[in-house]
Amino acid sequence: MVKTANTTVPRRRRKEARPQELTAAALSLFVEKGFAATRLDEVAARAGVSKGTLYLYFDSKEALFKAVIAEGVVPAIEAGEAMLEQYADDPRALLHEFLYGWWERIGNTELGGIPKLMVSEARNFPDVAAYYHEAVIHRGLKLIRTAVQRGVEMGVFREVNTELIGNVFMAPLLHLAMWRHSFGACCARDLDAGRFLDTWFDLLMHGLGAVRRVDGEKS
């Protein structure tokens, strides 16, 4: 209820909401409760609209989740793709920007809860999982492979398995995000993200670094 000087009037529910408000409400609930446990009427209530208004934009929970991914995660992938040109001559800096940029845009936000959701619920929602794999995972791994292959060709990095390097690059980041949205949120001390990322990048650069050999030394 909203009180005025002379009377009390009922608080009115907003009749309309922008799709971005609905996806923001959905993201919060998906991360908080899980995809399967979240109901569309809960999303509408958190956004301050009726369930009917939500259906004007999204015809299913799966469509709503795809919109969350498209609006929140895909722009980070697009930003990474733009970096390929920006750091074309510096593969080390490119990987650095991928690493810390992902944490700033995804891992350190509510969006960082999506990897945990996908790991736990992908099997039960294959259409959503397929979309996430194509729009996010496939493109993200391609970015990392491209950056590392450039470094190999330039002699900055040593020869490595470029087909697997993307998975190896992302695994610690996913661990950090999943920790924050699981143990770190309830019963264990949260990891220091800055120190974690610095440590991982240091290990990565030493592991990828090209081996310089003395003239005449056998390989």
Domains of the chain: 2-60 (1.10.10.60), 73-208 (1.10.357)
Chain-wide mean pLDDT for the chain? 88
Q: How far is CA 121 from CA 19, 128, 204, in A?
A: 24, 10, 30
Mean pLDDT per 10-residue section of the chain, whose length is 219 residues = 45 61 96 94 95 94 96 95 95 96 94 92 93 96 96 95 95 92 77 94 93 46
* Token pair for 123: 């099997």
| 184-195 confidence digits (pLDDT tens) | 777 767 789 999
Number of Cβ within 10 Å of residue 195's Cβ equals 9
* Token pair for 67: 């919109």
